[in-house]
Amino acid sequence: MKQSRRSGAQVGGKATERSADDVSSHNAEIESVLKALADIRADMVADLDRSRPRLADIHPDYHRSARNLLHYLALRRHDMRPLQQRLAALGLSSLGRAESHVLATVDKVLEVLHRLMNPVSRPAAGEAAPVNFALGEQLLAEHTDTLLGPATAGRKVRIMVTMPSEAADDPLLVHNLLQQGMECMRINCAHDDAAAWLRMIEHLRQAERKLGRSCRVAMDLAGPKLRTGPLEPGPEVVRIRPGRDRYGRVLTPARVWLTAEASPQPPPAPASASLPVPAAWMRGLRNGASVEFTDARGARRKFTIVDVTREGCWAEINKTAYIVPGTRLRHACGAGKAHDRACRVGALPVTENVLLLQKGDLLILTRDLKPGRPATHDSAGRILTPALIGCTLPEVFDDARAGESIWFDDGKIGGIIEKVEKYRVLVRIIQEHLKPVQLRPDKGINLPDSALRIAALTDKDIEDLSFVARHADIVELSFANSADDVAMLQQQLAGLGSRHPAIVLKIETQRSFHNLPDMLLTAMRAPCCGVMIARGDLAVECGFERLAEVQEEILWLCEAAHVPVIWATQVLETLAKEGRPSRAEISDAAMGLRAECVMLNKGPYVLSAMQVLDDILRRMQAHQSKKQSMLRELHLAHLLPIEPEAGVESGDD
């Protein structure tokens, strides 16, 4: 019995020792975490002190927001992941939702850590947090209301819609969009003109009065457009081809419209081709007559005349033919001389030219806008002279360097700059495709690795600003790359009178992403500003695989600055253009809830896209608020059958 008691005492003693060791280890961990977080807080406060000159020009409405942004940037200069894991292990906030009230969040965690160390202890008083938990959300909501106007009942996230050109002459379209819940009309100054823009706005004002709703007007400055130049015209050739089934059998003959060369008339019905011929020759044609010719390939072909009218003649053909100007046509009607029964086809429209490029090809970019041309090949198909095309902003040649990447046509064609010469740049195509890809005139060029010294405001933008300042609530600054670009727009607006539209920074280049904090602080000199994540060019500039990461970081920074974000580019694009969305588009649209506004682009089914987007945003706001999952009651949780307890039998007693 004594032995048993002694053994029990030994076990109890060891348990007590382990418990004491655990407590000591736990306290040491709390103390270590407390010191690490306190050091980070000290860095945050010191960094703000060093940055106080930046705050001098900040508008009073954004002063607390600017301080919160600087605190957040100081926090994110540390790799917080190890400390986050340690905080989570202690059952504390891991700072993952600190953006809008960063110093207040750190202070609250420090307070809890102090209490864990000593229940009666409080942290030493330091600089008060500029933004507490409630104020952070309140400031973002107020700034959003100021920029984008009040939200539609039942939906916090606003919807912006880009106007198509036809909106200038279709008041019903504008009325229906406003009725569906559009809170912001976007007009792209790269298209149409001031007269068309004014009609769009007048249609909106009329719809506002009828529906009793309000809607902001945003105007997007075109900005500097780096695009491919023109190409030489393609050959004057018309291919005429009948309709065939899968076995090559003719289902429908090709219909050809013959019209007088001197006074051509359009075909009264769809035609495979329209050929200009002498009127005198055409007067000799009769129904059922045959017109023989040899096409551009040397193939002998024959038209059959099926209808003769005063405006022209219809002919049909059951074989494919290629017609060029000067092709000799001959019919056998009438008793006239042979040369009266023959004629030559007149001038034909030139075809569009394209450059065909594949991996390994050399492409020459020129400084001028002289028409480019496709590559020439020898009889074995080897390139003799590389393809050549100009670009719209030759000054970029001064900033491009060998070894830097270059992309064309929204990232479809990728290359590396091999050499920069005085009048041209040599580009080696490196992106692989199953077949050669086409490069056309007026396609975008991106130089993500090059430090381009191009001003964000063009002469056209400055000219358009006089209209924008009078009529728009928001001006979107395209291809803004630096704080100087933002300051330049502010300066231009200041010279246009007292009405200043709010500036929205379009983040669409790698440089603008890297300079976003500085650009935000410059934009915050005004009482209202915003940011658009322009994901089209941004994906090309940063790399498609990095887009998700980049857009996430933009959202974090803007939330820390209490600056509203517009989620843009290709949202429900397939639905807007084709009438049916892809599955991935639905998930992407739901991600738009992380922003304060989602932008839809134009398309024939944009009203359907509005309805779907409105439904998605309403549903998702019950589940998500910024980065935070909202744990509403989950219907699925009620659907799992409850198993009977073990040992309990069912049935009658």
Distance CA 7, CA 9 (A): 5
Cα separation, 628 vs 626, in Å, equals: 6
- Rg of the chain on CA atoms, in Å: 35
Report pLDDT digits (tens) over 422-465.
Answer: 999 999 999 888 889 999 999 999 999 998 989 999 999 999 99
How far from the centroid of its chain's Cα atoms is residue 260's Cα?
A: 48
Q: What is the mean pLDDT of the chain?
A: 91
- Output the pTM of the full model: 0.85
pLDDT at 4: 53
Average pLDDT for residues 143-155, to the nearest whole number? 95
**Per-residue pLDDT band at 348 (split at 50, 70, 90):** very high
The per-residue pLDDT for range 527-544, each reduced to its tens digit, is 999 999 999 999 999 999
d(CA 581, CA 573): 7
Task: Write the pLDDT tens digit of every residue in 288-344.
Answer: 999 999 999 999 999 999 999 999 999 999 999 999 999 999 987 765 666 678 999
Share of the chain above pLDDT 90, in %: 78
User: Which domains, and CATH codes, for the chain?
Assistant: 22-131 (no CATH), 140-223+455-629 (3.20.20.60), 238-344 (2.40.33), 355-446 (2.40.33.10)
What is the predicted pLDDT for the residue at 334?
62
Is it the case that residue 362 has pLDDT exceeding 70?
Answer: yes
DSSP type of residue 333:
-
Distance CA 415, CA 517 (A): 31
Q: Is pLDDT above 80 for 650?
A: no
- Per the CB < 8 A criterion, the answer to whether 160 and 602 are in contact is no
Residue 431 has what pLDDT? 86
Q: Token pair of 371, please? A: 């028409």
Name the 3-class secondary structure at 480.
Answer: coil
Q: Residue 388 pairs with which residues in a beta bridge?
A: 364, 373
Q: How distant is the alpha carbon of residue 404 from its chain centre?
A: 23
Element containing residue 56 per DSSP (H, E): none
Measure the CA–CA gap between 605 and 577, rounded to whole angstroms: 6
- Give the least confident one: 22-26, 256-260, 494-498, 500-504: 22-26
pLDDT at position 640 is 80
Q: What is the pLDDT of residue 12?
A: 55
Give the dihedral of Cα atoms 413, 417, 419, 425; nearest 10 deg. Answer: 50
Convert the pLDDT of each residue in 477-518 to its tens digit: 999 999 999 999 999 999 998 889 999 999 999 999 999 999
10 is written with which tokens?
A: 């030994």
**Three-class SS state of 323:** strand
| Chain Cα centroid distance, residue 31 | 47
Whole-angstrom CA distances from 335 to 163, 291, 307, 328, 332 are 62, 15, 21, 19, 8
What is the predicted pLDDT for the residue at 2? Answer: 52
What pLDDT score does 252 carry? 95
Q: How far apart are the first and last CA of the chain?
A: 49
List, in order, residues 6 or more apart from 217 with CB less than 8 Å away: 184, 185, 187, 201, 204, 471, 472, 473, 474
* Orientation angle between helical segments 63-75 and 516-523, nearest 10 degrees: 170
Q: 170-218, pLDDT tens digit by residue? A: 999 999 999 999 999 999 999 999 999 999 999 999 999 999 999 999 9
Alpha helices in 502-592 (DSSP H): 510-514, 516-523, 535-542, 547-560, 573-578, 583-591
Q: Is the pLDDT of residue 119 over 80?
A: no
Cα 337–Cα 342–Cα 344 angle in degrees, nearest 5? 150
Q: Which pLDDT score is estimated for 73?
A: 96
| Cβ pair 339, 270 in contact under 8 A | no
Task: For residue 406, give both structure tokens.
Answer: 């270059």
Higher-confidence residue of 152 and 498: namely 152
Residue 52 is predicted with a pLDDT of 87
Can you tell me the distance from the alpha carbon of 397 to that of 388, in angstroms, rounded to the nearest whole number? 15
Find all residues with CB under 8 Å of 323, minimum gap 6, and list them: 237, 238, 240, 273, 275, 293, 295, 296, 345, 348
Compute the residue count for the chain: 653
143: phi then psi, degrees, rounded to nearest 5: -65, -35
pLDDT at residue 123 is higher than 80: no
Whether the CA torsion 57, 62, 64, 65 is positive or negative: it is: negative
What SS3 state is found at 280?
helix
Which of 111-120, 340-349, 579-588 shows the lowest per-residue confidence on average (mean pLDDT)? Answer: 111-120
Report pLDDT for 644: 73
pLDDT > 90? residue 646: no
Q: Which helix (H) or strand (E) is 200 found in, with range?
A: helix 194-211
Those residues with Cβ within 8 angstroms of residue 377's Cβ, 6 or more apart along the chain or in another chain: 383, 384
